A and B are shown apart, each in its own frame.
Chain A
Amino acid sequence: MTQPKIKKQLRLLIFSVVGMFGFGFALVPLYDVFCDITGLNGKDYSRATAVPMSSIDESRTVKVEFVTYLNKKLPWQFKPEIRSIELHPGERYQVSFVAINQSDQDTFGRAVPSITPGYGAQYLVKTECFCFQEQMLAANEEAMMPLIFYIDPNIPADISTLTLAYTLFKNEPTEVAMR
């Protein structure tokens, strides 16, 4: 029961506490890396791709549903042209989303996609998407925002429906720049 021994244990324990506090924060980047590698979580990490078109699988169809959400802070209307479509895997398709700025101010928005089920996210390949860039709508402007995509024919047989959800957020940094 010597004092130095207690001090050493105390140091070790306090070090563990600080370490675990750091670990809590380390979970944030770890989580992103984990989702990126495994493609889980429906996070859509795809960038614009121009891969050679693979053959169209005529034997089956996959239903793609389009869902849109608006963040409260954005005074826009935002809707897909169509609610859903049945596609053969490999078939290229273009869909447009209608966005209307209902305010009297120029506003910047950014769409964040999410795909359900999560493990199907990697099979929805976008070749062109408005979500790749920030969108600007002038006061009361209306715009058609195009999305071109196809479904990777390697999509597992048990996925019959993919839901693509876009949430439009007000882009804050630009808002600061506009002031």
Chain B
Amino acid sequence: MSEIQLKDNADKTILDAPAITTHIDHHSAPHGYKRWLFSTNHKDIGTLYLWFSLTMFFIGGAMAMIIRAELFQPGLQLIEPNFFNQMTTSHGLIMVFGAVMPAFVGLANWMLPLMIGAPDMALPRMNNWSFWILPFAFSLLLLSLFTEGGGPNFGWTFYPPLSTQYSPDSTAMFVFSIHLMGISSIMGAINVIVTIFNMRAPGMTLMKMPMFVWTWLITAFLLIAVMPVLAGAVTMILTDKYFGTSFFDAAGGGDPVLFQHVFWFFGHPEVYIMILPSFGIISAIIPTFARKQLFGYHSMVYATASIAILSFTVWAHHMFTVGLPLAAELFFMYCTMLISVPTGVKIFNWIATLWRGSITFEVPMLFSLAFIVLFTIGGFSGLMLAITPADFQYHDTYFVVAHFHYVLVTGAVFSIMAAAYYWLPKWTGYMFNEKLGKWHFWCSLISVNLLFFPMHFLGLAGMPRRIPDYALQFADINKIVSIGGFLFGLSQLIFVAVVVMAVRGGKKAPAKPWEGAEGLEWTVPSPAPYHTFDTPPEVK
């Protein structure tokens, strides 16, 4: 019997883990490709998700490199404007649906059962299906780029009439790939909810769950609420383009503005889908390396829930300039600003956790600290955008691009990096190369700011987004931004090196490689055996 302490709850809990079993599974796992193709094991599927996400991160990243290369200097040098538009569109879609979301689902697959003391996910076969849909979805999307007339070129938000009257013939491929991605993430979300509600170890009440579990539970509900709406929106685009309906076509009595309402009703909760699990990750890592309990666990839970609920009341702040009545502009402005309150609660809780902590700066902690600072910058530029009259200036400029890259790259992606470094020893059984990890961190940190910070200035000076060419006065800053972009892209190769090296070998990792770490996942050996918690641990 080992006694460990669960930290995330206010009152310290003593936990009786059953004698840790290091057994290799009895019903031997299938080998070769069948192990992966037919896997119902949450760890295997988690691994598949994470590798898939990394692959998509590099494909989407390569597109970003093409975009930055074209924008390196004014004029058209490398690619046609139409191809440029396909790059911005595909970059957005791939990063959102292919890199960030699958990475979170992968982390959920790997870590949720370990964190709540469950032997596996509740619906393992559906789990397999929800992963294996993804390669088909993205093949469909990527293949559309090679069709005659090209792939989607209407921006990842696919506003009509760009996506209906003026879209390429391959639009149906785009629509079906979005359908598949939606089905996949809905199945993933259902699995997470059912797992958390039914598979927790005895004694693990809801308010004793680690924050990562909480944030994922709330994210899963958001996914179930909005992914079907996205599926509806793409379906209406499909029928408008190919079957003569006029949902969004004024000629037939429809309204293109309606699309923006439907899309952003999905789109705004979607941005919280991409950040709430990050909050969970940071809430796990900060206490570990500050060697203190998470400050304000209960307020963290309530803040997460408030953010999720409020996210349904702010969608029209993406469309302030579309001609909303004054009352609506005020309503959406105030609601948007209101979200900064629970978000602020979280930031202050993390800072309070750090306060007088015994802090060390291992790679996961470095990424988490950078997350807090840089995500806050992204939050503040979001507040600027929330001010309706100011938004009329910022709308559709590089200021918006800077804002959402701060929250998505230095926010979501940095938290995923932090999570990867944090749990890598648990996954591979080896400690990663700390020195190389730090190189990755510092290169990323410097280049990412070189990449995105000057974009604020470009936007304020009036450079519109989604253009392949620009006015001459933006030349110098664009050059700096492009250099930052290339450096950031190259820095991610260090990450691949670190991961590959840690998979191959290195220093053996103990069950609990981080001194201050607490939680059930550290009670199983590293690497986590194929089957864990066959007998549920008891949480007191």
Contact = CB atoms under 8 A, between A and B. Distances in A.
Interface of A: 1, 5-6, 9-10, 13-14, 16-25, 27-28, 31, 38, 40-43, 71, 112, 116-119, 167, 169-170, 172
Interface in B252-311: 252, 255, 257-258, 261-262, 265
A177 B236 CA distance: 26
B233 interface: yes
Contacts of A6: 122-123, 194, 198
A28 B190 CA distance: 27
B321 to A, nearest CB: 13
A27 B250 contact: no
A112 to B, nearest CB: 6
20 contacts: A1-B199, A6-B123, A9-B197, A9-B198, A16-B225, A18-B228, A20-B226, A20-B228, A23-B228, A24-B262, A24-B265, A27-B229, A41-B257, A41-B323, A112-B250, A116-B323, A118-B323, A118-B324, A118-B325, A119-B326
Contact of A9 (B193, B229, B247, B251): B193
A17 B228 contact: yes
A112 B252 CA distance: 10
Interface in B320-366: 323-326, 328
Interface in B208-233: 224-233
A24 B198 contact: no
B190 A14 contact: yes
Given A24-B233, A71-B251, A116-B323, A31 B190 contact: no
Contact of A17 (B224, B233, B252): B224
A5 B247 contact: no
A20 B251 contact: no
B228 A24 contact: yes
Given A16-B225, A20-B228, A9 B258 contact: no
Contacts of B325: 38, 40, 118-119
Specify the main secondary structure of chain A where it touches its partner: helix
Name which of B228, B230, B257, B324 has the most chain A CB atoms within 10 A of its CB.
B228
Specify the main secondary structure of chain B where it touches its partner: helix
A16 B123 CA distance: 18
Given A9-B193, A9-B198, A117 B236 contact: no
A50 B418 CA distance: 70
B266 to A, nearest CB: 8
Nearest to B253: A112
Given A6-B194, A21-B229, A24-B230, 13 more contacts: A6-B122, A6-B198, A9-B194, A24-B231, A24-B232, A27-B258, A41-B255, A42-B323, A117-B323, A118-B323, A119-B326, A169-B251, A172-B251
A27 B261 contact: yes
B56 interface: no
Contacts of B229: 20-21, 23-24, 27
B224 A20 contact: yes
A7 B227 CA distance: 22
Contacts of A40: 324-325, 328
A20 B225 contact: yes
A78 B251 CA distance: 16
A5 B122 CA distance: 12
A76 to B, nearest CB: 14
A21 B199 contact: no
B169 to A, nearest CB: 18
Name which of A1, A17, A43 has the most chain B CB atoms within 10 A of its CB.
A17
A25 B250 contact: no
A112 B254 CA distance: 11
Contacts of B265: 24, 27
Given A5-B198, A20-B226, A42-B323, A31 B231 contact: no
B186 interface: yes
Nearest to B266: A24
B182 to A, nearest CB: 9
Contacts of A41: 255, 257, 323
A76 B127 CA distance: 57
A31 B324 CA distance: 13
Nearest to B165: A72
Contacts of A1: 198-199
Contacts of A18: 228
A25 B236 contact: yes
Name which of B122, B230, B323, B326 has the most chain A CB atoms within 10 A of its CB.
B323
Nearest to B199: A1
Nearest to A167: B250
Contacts of A112: 250-251
Interface string B42-64: 00000000000000000000000
Interface in B459-500: none
Contacts of B190: 10, 13-14, 17
B5 to A, nearest CB: 25
Contact of A25 (B122, B232, B255): B232
A28 B230 CA distance: 14
Contacts of A42: 323
Q: List the 8 closest A-B pairs by CB distance, nearest first.
A: A24-B232, A20-B228, A21-B228, A169-B251, A24-B229, A13-B190, A1-B198, A31-B258
A13 B224 contact: yes
A97 B110 CA distance: 67
A34 to B, nearest CB: 10
Nearest to A72: B165
A14 B191 CA distance: 11
B247 A28 contact: yes
A32 B122 CA distance: 42
A172 B258 CA distance: 22
Contact of B232 (A9, A21, A43): A21
Contacts of B236: 24-25, 28
A33 to B, nearest CB: 12
A17 B265 CA distance: 15
